[in-house]
Structure 1
Amino acid sequence: MTAIAPRSGTASLTRLLLVATVLFGTVFTALSGTASAHAALTGSTPADGAVVATAPKDITLTFSEQVAMGDNSIRVLDPDSKRVDAAKIRDLSDGATVRYAVDLRSGLSDGTYTVAWRAVSADSHPVSGAFTFSIGAPSKTAAPMPTEQAGGGLVGALYDIARYVSYAGFVLLVGGAAFVLGCWRRGASVRPLQRLVVQGWLALTGGTLVLLLLRNPYTNSGKLGDAFDLAGLQEVLTTKTGAALVSRLLLLGAAALFVAVLFGAYAKREESQDESERKEAGDLTLGLALGGTVVAAGIAGTWALAEHASTGLQPALAMPVDVLHLLAVAAWLGGLTALLVSLYRAPSIEGAAVRRFSRVAFISVVVLAVTGLYQSWRQVGSWSALWNTSYGQLLLVKVALVALLVGIAWFSRRWTGRLGEPPAKAEDGAAEDDGREAGAGKETGPEITTTATTTATATVVTDSDRATQLARQEAALASARQKRMRDADPGRTGLRRSVLAEAGVAVVLLAVTTGLTGTEPGRTAEREAAGAADGGTAAVANQGPLDVRLPFDTGGPNGKGTIRLTLDPATSGPNVMKVLTDGPDGKPLDTPEVRVAFTLTAKKIGPLPIVPERAAPGRWTADPVLLPMPGDWRLQVTVRTSDIDQTTVEKNVKIG
């Protein structure tokens, strides 16, 4: 019976951890596919899909927020996939607008050119995109559009895993140490708790080192081999994220000293029977608590300084709020893990320690609620973003998990109230009970009779190996007896199960929280969708009727002009379209033929051909124009100015 109970508990723990791992893997897989574009390209010159009469001198990109770009961050490729840019970025930002430019080589021929860009947003996440424009007229061939997303691939997956490991290590390190100092001081000498905190330190340190090495390929080439590029690593150290990671490593050195004192000098004084040493342990508690809080806040600050909190609205307030949020998460989830380890691995734990943690957990939940509400308002921005953006949807999942965790915690508090204390003389009489059970020969474990005990005593001097074996047997009996006493308390058994369930939900909650830090905030996502200006990587933003102007040149006499196309109301369903062709002088240019086509590439719809009717010289109409659904459509207008001279111009437009 004594041996069965621990194995059952271990099996339950193993099963739940396996389930939690599967859930975590599911969530993490979903998160790895989410967009991480925290800065949006809001415009470009030339615009996406534009057809220009002459070659531009440079390409300019405009972003929604500050980004970091290197000399190879903007690449311009001709129809044969050859670079035609000067590979030298110029920063044209003026404070209110974030704009970068790259010069083009002279003498560019007509055709379609591809612009591929890559940058790092202010909150440390890489962003990338591509678009095309044409000189003279679109060509039959064009450079292939980049398909790999910034921060994706194997390097992106490893980087995300290292981020999760870092967060988990921070939770175990800070939460485990806080549990010992604030809830159960005698736990400083419990080996399973010591291993838990040390493993948290190792996980956080190892994860931070991996993040530092992967930062260069994560934001640039995407090649795993570049993790050991010293030049790239040196460049990373000059960035805000690199400085934050190095600062975290330095703070972890101080944390190692803290852990050594906590489980060394402090644990010895706490276990000492000497009254003066125990008083010294009490004095040392305050120093460790203050020093540990400073170090923990500093480590949490390395995230706040480099990620979401440092950009956007009210960063001066958002960063300390983010630090409080992370500390509350660590105190709650890390303390919960420490309690779980104590219930399953420690010989016994005081009921008062469990009740103290219950109060700490309650305070942590209150802090999480207050700081979480502020962060949600700051990052989401509107009710619609809660269900229309990936960030909002993940936030709803997180709220649901927190609510579930609080519900399970309510049951844990009920079990805590029923938790009994071990008998006062149970430990003092352990040796006496061992002697009685051994002398009676009734112990169901190893057979130790009175005769065997006498014989063993006689052979202590002559047979040290036998004495060592007997000592181990007696220790095993004492440990088994302690476990029987521990498991006999129904309150403790119920508490162990509820805390185990809490820990399983906490694993998934931490995965979702990690995903939120790598997902585009709702405010940015909505601004990108609604404010992608003319020529951005997104289509032309539609505010009411669509009005598009496109220059054209068929190459023949009187072949130059401008097309003005209006579509009202520019939504799915029936629309009214008007097409005007004007000459260089602004007067109507009578053309023999105008054709229009709409293509929704994402849904493989189209091209939908439309032949408008001639209403007057240079004036064409079509009613109705039926578009089946909203989306980013490719608009193509073909103009014929003679029997042999015609051209087709294109542009991306947003419908609905």
Structure 2
Amino acid sequence: MSTLARPARPVLLLLVLLAGWLSLGVATAGPAAAHAELVSTDPGEGARLDEVPGQVTLTFSEGVSLGAGYARVLGDGGERVDTGAAEVDGGTVTVPLRDDLPDASYVVTYRIVSADSHPISGAFAFVVGDGELADAGAVADDADVDPLVAAALPAARSLGFAGLAAGLGVPAFLVLCWPAGWASARMRRITSVGLGTAAGAAVLTFLLQGPYAAGAGLGSLLDPALVSTTASSSFGLTTLGRAALALVLLGLLLPLWRRGAQPSAQEQAGLAVIGAGVVLTTAAVGHPVAGPVPVFATAVTAVHVAAMALWLGGLAALLAGLVRPGAEAGELAGALPRWSRIASGSVAALVVTGVVQSVREVGSPAALVSTTYGWLLLGKLALVLLLLAAAGVSRVWVQQHLGVSRPRPGSRRRVTAHAFAAGDPDGPVETAARARAAVQARGAVEDVGPLRRSVLVEAAVAAAVLVLSAVLVGTPPARASVAQPVDVTLPLQSAAGESGSVQVSVDPARPGANTLHLYLFDDDGQLAQPADLRVTLTEPEQEIGPLDVDLEPAGPGHWVADGMSIPGAGTWTVAVSVRLDEFTATTASTDFPVR
């Protein structure tokens, strides 16, 4: 995130986009965008069976893997009764059971890894015969994430983001704004340390993934089994690829630093390709690769990461050059106006892609203020606004000391450091302009205190933004944490065809108590009063139901079931049967997810 961005336009763009989202309720979208959820099980939770099934099946909302986790079935005494050969096919986990098991209560316990690399764990029980249902929580021994591992992961991600900003953003700043900076030892150190940090943080993240998924501690960081499991996953391969590309980029930059001159166009193209690979491997893990349209989500995240690196990298270069005024600071002053325009584009890209990501991960305005992910996102937004305010102070300084004023007709042209940065090398007029601009830039640097302070504020706030971003990566998306109420209008079907309609709403569509509202309409769209009305709930996958719903009249054509109980998560079917008269019966049904 750069100094000198034009804050007014990005802030306005951010507010307009957020206002549009809040007013239109962008997320009419369906279920979760990331983080796998258990949709159904066979046998169902709390089911009572006549005989022991041959296997237990768990169905999740997205593709999962066992990774360093497990899926097992335990008997009354806590002993394993599965064969130990659980299989995964997309979002379905199948656990075969041993033969000749007795009638008893069994507990299914699982810890799987979702497509976004985060572990999901849980347990449920079923009983065979007339015995008592076991307490799944008492029998299962699911391990939580170790607190040290939980703290180390966001720390590693934060270091990785900071390393990317320095390692990618500083060279980009030099190419676009300050070619003379290739001879700066300070810029060389920042870039080298940044790329080394990015590679090291990627390796550390790779090693931490095994204990994170398995619920183990830091002592298992180098456990061969966990390392092997992570290395065979798409997350592990992508993370190691990021580390390798960062080291390759560092190797390509070393001879350029020794030469101390601007890279050729061909060299710049090579650096850009490797840098794009680092950006893509950063974007292609976590939430973007899970849920709907992963290619689009990954592309949006890649643009977000690239804009972040460009903005923060420029900030790092300016901060290093302005801390100690001197000849280098004077040269940097000439690059500031050009950097201001580039930073504005970076900010606009960050705002647009950030809002797109928020819509996908949050899903609805209500989720923004009712989930941990939503509150973290709001905190990040507040810091970004503070960052833009600091950037505004920097821009005012640039306009006052190094800005370009438009010449009036008949007036003498005012030449500034911008002219010095972008002037035509031909001709005595341009040469004189550059000389005058250089004198002005050196004079401006003597009064660089306000700019230096605003840059320091930007750097401090940017560090906090990076930490929040790293925490958000490991937090379940708000969309996956909030149930989506149901509100649909269905045509009523009879033997003779459609006959009226029924509007059904279920809120909040969570296990436990819910409220159902039902409105009945005739063919003319008027509220109707039938001879008889019945509503049932069924969960076909878990073989639950049909369960009758007790309705209370709430007005003409309107019924309410307040406190309607939904036994558990799954994909439920609500069916409405309407008898209009002695000879006409109609039905309607719809499926809805319960989390």
TM-score by structure 2 length?
0.67
Q: 1:62 corresponds to which letter in structure 2?
A: T
Number of equivalenced pairs: 450
1:240-299 per-residue CA deviation (whole Å, 9 max, x = no partner) reads 11211222132123211232133211x1xx4xxxxxxxxxx4xx2534432222222101
- Residue 196 (1) aligns with residue 183 (2): no
After superposition, the Cα gap between the structure-2 partners of 1:46 and 1:361, relative to the gap in structure 1 and judged at 3 Å, is same
Q: Which amino acid aligns with 1:117?
A: Y
Write the deviation string for residues 221-242 of structure 1: whole angstroms up to 9, x where unpaired. 5243332233432332221112
Is the counterpart of residue 514 in structure 1 residue 470 in structure 2?
yes
Distance 1:376 1:626, change over 3 A: closer
Q: Contact 2:146–2:217 at 8 Å: present in 1 too? A: no
Match of 2:386 among 366, 390, 404: 404
Aligned partner of 2:320 among 323, 341, 349: 341
- Which residue in the other structure is 2:202 paired with? 208
Structure 1 pair 110/564, CA: closer, same or farther in 2 (3 Å)? farther
The 2-side partners of 1:318 and 1:240 are apart by 17
Q: Would you say the 8 A contact 1:296–1:327 is kept in 2?
A: no
Q: Match for residue 101 of structure 1?
A: 94
| Identity across matched positions, percent | 34
Aligned to 1:499: 455
The offset of 1:577, in angstroms, is 13
- Taking a change above 3 Å as real, the CA distance of residues 563 and 297 of structure 1, as seen in their structure-2 partners, is closer
Match of 2:120 among 103, 120, 127: 127
RMSD value over aligned CA atoms? 3.8
Aligned to 1:366: 348
Residue type of the alignment partner of 2:320: V
| Corresponding position of 1:489 | 446
What secondary structure, in the 3-state scheme, does the structure 2 residue paired with 1:87 have?
coil
1:242 is aligned to 2:214: no
| Preserved CA contact (<8 Å) 1:547 1:567 | no
Could you tell me which residue of structure 1 aligns to residue 58 of structure 2? Answer: 61
Amino acid corresponding to residue 126 of structure 2 in structure 1: F
1:655 to 1:510, Cα distance in 2 relative to 1, 3 A: closer
Please list the CA deviations of residues 25-52 of structure 1 after superposition, one character each: whole Å capped at 9, or x if unmatched. xxxxxxxxxxx98111111122223333
Superposition deviation, residue 530 in structure 1: 8.2
Would the aligned equivalents of 1:530 and 1:541 in 2 still touch at CA under 8 Å? no
2:227 alignment partner in structure 1:
233
In the alignment, the residues of structure 2 paired with residue 549 and residue 210 of structure 1 have an alpha-carbon distance, to the nearest angstrom, of 47
Note if 1:376 corresponds to 2:358. yes
Quick check: 1:119–1:127 contact (8 Å CA) kept in 2? yes
Q: Deviation at 1:110? A: 4.5
Specify which of 132, 154, 159 is matched with residue 160 of structure 1: 154
Change (3 A) 1:223 1:564: same
1:391 is the counterpart of 2:373: yes
Is this contact kept in 1: 2:279–2:302, CA < 8 A?
yes
SS in 2 for 1:326: helix
Deviations 1:378-422 (A, max 9, x none): 22222222223332332222222222211211111001123369x
Question: Which of 25, 30, 38 pairs up with 2:35?
Answer: 38
CA contact (8 A) 2:200 2:243 kept: no
**CA–CA distance in structure 2, aligned partners of residues 294 and 140 of structure 1:** 58
Following the alignment from structure 2 to structure 1, what is the Cα–Cα distance between the partners of residues 227 and 474? 22
Alignment of 1:247-396 (within 5 A): 247-265=241-259, 267=260, 270=261, 281=262, 284-345=263-324, 347=326, 348-349=328-329, 350=331, 351-396=333-378
Corresponding residue SS for 2:511: coil
| Other-structure match for 1:471 | none
1:191 positional shift: 2.8
The aligned residue for residue 608 of structure 1 is: none
Q: Is the 8 A contact 1:124 1:307 kept in 2?
A: yes
TM-superposed CA distance for 1:543, in Å, is: 6.6
In the TM superposition, what is the alpha-carbon distance from 1:205 to its structure 2 partner?
1.4
Aligned with 2:191: secondary structure?
Answer: helix
Give the Cα–Cα distance (whole angstroms) in 2 for the partners of residues 544 and 577 of structure 1.
Answer: 6
In structure 2, the residue corresponding to 1:69 is in which secondary structure? strand
The structure 2 residue matched to 1:144, chosen from 114, 128, 139, is 139
Change (3 A) 1:162 1:185: same
CA distance in 1, matches of 2:209, 2:276: 24
CA 1:72–1:207: 2 relative to 1, 3 Å:
closer
SS of equivalent to 2:250: helix
1:228 is paired with a residue whose SS is: coil
* Bigger Cα displacement from structure 2, 389-398 vs 192-201: 389-398
In structure 1, runs of 5+ residues without a counterpart are: 1-35, 271-280, 425-484, 532-537, 551-561, 570-575, 579-624, 635-653
User: Alpha carbons of 1:83 and 1:344: their partners in 2 closer, same or farther (altered >3 Å)?
Assistant: same
Aligned-partner Cα distance in 2 for 1:193–1:315? 36
Please tell me the residue identity of whatever aligns with 1:122.
Answer: A
Larger Rg: 1
Do residues 544 (structure 1) and 516 (structure 2) align?
A: yes
Query: Any idea what SS the aligned residue of 2:62 has?
Result: coil
Distance 1:246 1:549 in 2: 46
Which amino acid is the alignment partner of residue 354 of structure 1? L
Residue 393 of structure 2 aligns to which amino acid in structure 1?
Answer: F
The answer to whether the 8 A contact 2:109-2:142 is kept is no
1: CA distance between counterparts of 2:249 and 2:357?
Answer: 28
In structure 2, the partner of 1:84 is 81
Q: Normalising by structure 1, what TM-score?
A: 0.61
1:463 aligns with: none
> Residue type of the partner of 1:172?
A
Cα separation, 1, equivalents of 2:210 and 2:449: 49
Once the two structures are superposed, residues 354-391 of structure 1 have per-residue CA deviations (whole angstroms, 9 ceiling, x without a partner) of 22222221110011122222222222222222223332
Higher mean C-alpha displacement, 502-511 vs 66-75: 66-75
Native 8 Å contact 2:126 2:133 kept in 1: no
Q: How does 1:518-597 map to 2 (within 5 A)?
A: 518-526=474-482, 539=511, 542=514, 544=516, 566=549
Q: Look up the match of 2:531.
A: none
- Structure 1 CA distance for aligned equivalents of residues 394 and 290 of structure 2: 39
Structure 2 counterpart SS, 1:419:
helix
Q: Is contact 2:62–2:115 with CA below 8 Å preserved after alignment?
A: yes
- CA change 1:514–1:567 in 2 (3 A) is farther
Quote the Cα distance in structure 2 between the aligned partners of 1:548 and 1:287: 66
Aligned 8 A contact 2:323 2:452 in 1: yes
Aligned twin of 1:649? none
1:182 paired to 2:154: no
Unaligned runs of 5+ in 2: 1-32, 404-415, 418-441, 488-509, 518-534, 540-544, 553-558, 570-592
Deviation at 1:140, TM superposition (A): 7.0
Q: Deviations along 1:308-348, whole A, 9 cap, x unmatched? A: 22232222322222211101001111211221121104634
For 1:542 and 1:80, the matched residues in 2 are separated by 36
Q: What amino acid sits opposite 1:306 in the alignment?
A: V
Between the aligned partners of 1:408 and 1:229, the Cα distance in structure 2 is 46
